[in-house]
Amino acid sequence: MVFLEEKRPRKAVAWLVIMIMLPVAGIILFLIFGQNLRKKKQSALKSARDHRYIEDLLARHRIDRLTEMSSLDKVGMGEHDDMVSLLAHSDNAFLTNSNCVSFFSDGHDFFDALFKVIEDAQDNVNVQYYIIRNDKLGNAFLDLLKRKREEGVEVRLLVDGVGTRLPLWKIRELREAGIMFEIFFPPMVYVLPFLNHRINYRNHRKIVVVDGKIGFIGGYNVGDEYLGKVRRWGYWRDTALCIEDMAVWGLQLRFLLDWNHASEQKMELEERYFPQNLSCTGDVPIQIVSSGPDMRWQPIKLSYLKMIHEAKDSIYIQSPYFVPDESVRDALIMAALSGIDVRIMIPDKPDHPFVHWVSYSYLSELLESGVRGYMYGSGFIHAKTIVVDGRITSIGSANWDIRSFDLNFETNAVLYSERVGAEQKAAFLDDLGRCRELTLADYENRTLITRGRVFISRLFSAIL
């Protein structure tokens, strides 16, 4: 079964080693985390349906994936034509060139803006989150959606079956209020979540689209911790952006595809979801790029690799989880050895201790090549960003780990703008004041307990 499931020798061997070391527990772990035949079939069906919708939208509105490529020359980004082409061919990610964007790194600012835009909705609100908590912020958010539905606005809410654990009575209340509510890959028995064998293939996307004109994307889920109100985490540092103009179509299309996979109430390519009368006159070219187990390629990982290979001066990365595969690790090493300023920031405070020690280990191994590692200590950093040369930026839901690259459904925005790049680079440098730099001496002088944690974590990281 291991060799039928796993096409990657390293991962197959890791599973066999774990099963030999832990004969009973190892097999149970494989059945939960590794056995994916049914999910692969579901993903293949989703991929075929998605392709038909994408082709229909592009044909209906006469959109060529590469039509706007010439716009990069106008903003001094012509050398990134090959990046645009890569994402267009691997993910049908069409380029749009006149977007307005605003950024958020503080939860209060983000949710104030998000609530305000939803309050002003006139026709439809489409919401997709990995996590919506049953807490003060989560309930305020759900109450807002119910209120908008009472006003006659069409509301769809799509959540992940593992990330979101709302009580059944609350789900029933949402549906009775007229909200179309669906669960992506729900557990077999919702009231017994531990019976959910679908730990892999989670929908990790965070997308909100209002009236087809304004969209939000980034790292924030909906819960009190994202406002810094959970003592365990303290201040929550994240990154998200609000987009206006044609790039919102990319977010809306991604929501539509995921919704139609989860729901019997299909969403069609109506003009009210993809309106033509967009009033923003911005100057930021954007591609909305997605990855998932339903895709032949790994577009987000490919975008990260392409950005690293195109760097000439600097590469600044933030991620709560840093578990790169060999290709990403080698690309970062080559960049650092080439004299490029490569800096990676991860949390000093773990939310998942296992992943934290793996991230610490992988980051430490890069230091010898010249990569500089930083541990964010002023609360918890959850941002998933990369900015290259202060010119090209990626922000979204995808972490820098194997799970985001291969097993989860993720969506990022890639922005081609010196102004945006400079802003994000400045934000990274500002965050350095809240970090301690990780050195080779720190890693080499780690305690025996830390060495044990790293060893066990690295062994199991191969099966992620």
Task: Point out the residues that are catalytic.
Answer: 204, 206, 211, 382, 384, 389
DSSP character string of 303-324: HHHHHHHH-SSEEEEE-S-EE-
Cα 378 to Cα 238: distance, rounded to the nearest angstrom: 12
Find residue 341's DSSP bridge partners. Answer: 314
Cα 86 to Cα 394: distance, rounded to the nearest angstrom: 15
In angstroms, the Cα distances linking 56 to 51, 59, 255, 302 are 9, 5, 16, 25
Of 222, 224, 219, 223, the C-alpha closest to 237 is: 219
> b or e along 334-367 (b: 16 or more beta carbons within 10 Å of the residue's beta carbon)?
ebbeeebebbbbbbbebeeeebbbbbbbbbbbbb
Reading the block at residue 4, the tokens are 């039928």
Contact 134, 166 (CB under 8 A): yes
Of 420, 399, 397, 427, the C-alpha closest to 410 is: 397
Cα 344 to Cα 322: distance, rounded to the nearest angstrom: 9
In degrees, rounded to 5, the angle at the alpha carbon of residue 386 between the alpha carbons of residues 383 and 391 is 130
Contact 205, 113 (CB under 8 A): no
Contact 386, 307 (CB under 8 A): yes
H/E run at residue 105 = strand 95-106
The SS3 assignment for 222 reads strand
The SS3 assignment for 384 reads coil
Reading the block at residue 370, the tokens are 């010249």
Crossing angle for the helix pair 299-310 and 326-337, nearest 10 degrees?
10
Contact 385, 306 (CB under 8 A): no
The SS3 assignment for 368 reads helix
